[in-house]
Amino acid sequence: MEDNNDTTIYETQGFGADIQLKAPFGLLIVDLVNGFADPAVFGGGNIGQAIDKTVPLLAAARHAGWPIAHTRIVYAEDGSDHNVFSAKIPSMLTLTEQAHASQIVSELTPREGELVVRKNVASAFFGTSLAAWLTHRGVHTLLVAGAVTSGCIRASVVDASQLGFVPLVIEDCVGDRAQGPHQANLFDMQQKYAAVMKRDEALAKLGIEVP
């Protein structure tokens, strides 16, 4: 995450305090689907790099036995669940259950026992079973990867913090189609809602090795 010349006022007002990152840990991978991997559809920027960085993160989480959840954006074939999100981005309605663009990228294919959340708004938590699923498994600190930083990542992180989980955003495992929103939202999440660290730093801090 880039330095920000305006940090002084945040420091003066007491923003950005450290939060306790403790077990049990869980991993949430948000919307790393074919459509977001493709710059011609919903991708671009550093999303491809985020996918590459997430592959070893997912391997480490599996090796450690953490609860793992993935999300997809899925709308009804007839658009009957059309909402404000899809009104702002009408092409989202093409992300239906069977659409290629809505399928999780092959490098991150979920395994048995991993939750796949279908959503049609930005947050992975709104209107889904995710919070209950994580709570049932005792998750305290939730590592977050995926796309896009300024949209579904931010919305999911804010909801996670409001629901009592401690979000840890993995900086090089989240991506956005534009770097301005990406950097601004990393900064803002670190100041208000989450810890933000690069993958290797985070795994070392948590005592987890990449297999």
Show which residues are catalytic: 152
DSSP state of 145: E
Three-class DSSP category at 110 = coil
* Distance from C-alpha of 107 to C-alpha of 146, rounded to nearest angstrom: 13
Torsion angle, alpha carbons of 90, 93, 94, 97, to 10: 160
How does DSSP assign 8-44, residue by residue? HHHHHHT-S------SSEEEEEE--BHHHH-TTTT--
